[in-house]
Structure formats: structure tokens, C-alpha cells
Amino acid sequence: VQLTQSGAEVRRPGASVKVSCKVSGYSLAELAIHWVRQAPGKGLDWMGAFDPEDGERIYAQKFQGRVTMTEDTSTDTAYMELSSLGSEDTAVYFCATGGGTIYMDVWGAGTAVIVS
């Protein structure tokens, strides 16, 4: 499995951003996709995940209402959209998959999002 993410984005405060994660070597329909971010100088922050086993999307409380994760199985591409951006959302956003919802052993290269 390989994950290829979209390129860097710059947004104004209050705008939205949509990051894509293209799956190759496997079918997206069979993968749990997680989204994790790392702000400058900060740790890893799990945003949410889609579990294909039960079709459930789970979002971290701090992003509820601002984040939407979707999947296009026709193109094997997952998306993460974050709205009402603030400077605190400046970060590198990663998609990841692997051991279902248990662990993440395949990661995308990351997408830098700058809010300024």
C-alpha cells in the first residue's frame, strides 16, 4: 500500500482546506484511513478515522463540527476537509493506514497547510 497526498496549501483565516490521500496497491474500500496532524513544535494530534468494517467515521472531539472525512472508492482517494481555519491549524496533515484501527504502518508524506 502507498499513500500519495496532495500538495501544500495556503489559506486565509476563516477559510476551508481539503486534503486528498490517494491509495495505490490496495482498495480504499478495505482500508481504515486515519488523519493525524503535527503543528510546528508540537506533537502528533489524531483527528479522526474511517473504519470500513462498520462504515463509521470517528472524529476527535476537538475537531467535531469542523472536520469532514470522505472517501471516493471509485478513485481510491480519501479526503479530509477542515473548515473555519485559524492560525492554530497551521500544521502538516498526514493520512495513514495499515492495521485497521489498531495501528498505522503506512503513512502519506504529509501535506503542509499554512493559515495566514
Partner 1 sequence: DIQMTQSPSSLSASVGDRVTITCRASQSISTYLNWYQLKPGRAPKLLIYVASTLQSGVPSRFSGGGSGTHFTLTISSLQPEDFATYYCQQSHTMPVTFGGGTRVDI
Strand, helix or coil for residue 28: helix
Residues present in the chain in total = 116
Binding to partner 1 by residue 83, rule CB under 8 A? no
What x-and-dash track marks residues 16-35 binding partner 1 by CB under 8 A? ------------------x-
What is the side-by-side strand order in the sheet with 77-82?
2-5, 17-24, 77-82, 67-72
Alpha carbons 76 and 115: distance in angstroms, whole number: 28
Q: Minimum distance between the CB of residue 16 and partner 1, rounded to whole angstroms?
A: 22
The residues pairing with 41 across neighbouring beta strands, listed in sequence order, are: none
* Contact between 52 and partner 1 per CB under 8 A: no
Tell me if 44 contacts partner 1 by CB under 8 A: yes
Residue with smaller CB distance to partner 1, 15 or 67: 67
Q: Verify binding: residue 113, partner 1, rule CB under 8 A.
A: no
Residue 21 · residue 97 · CB < 8 Å: no
Residues lying near partner 1 in the complex (CB under 8 A): 34, 36, 38, 43-46, 48-49, 58-61, 94, 96, 98-99, 101-105, 107-110
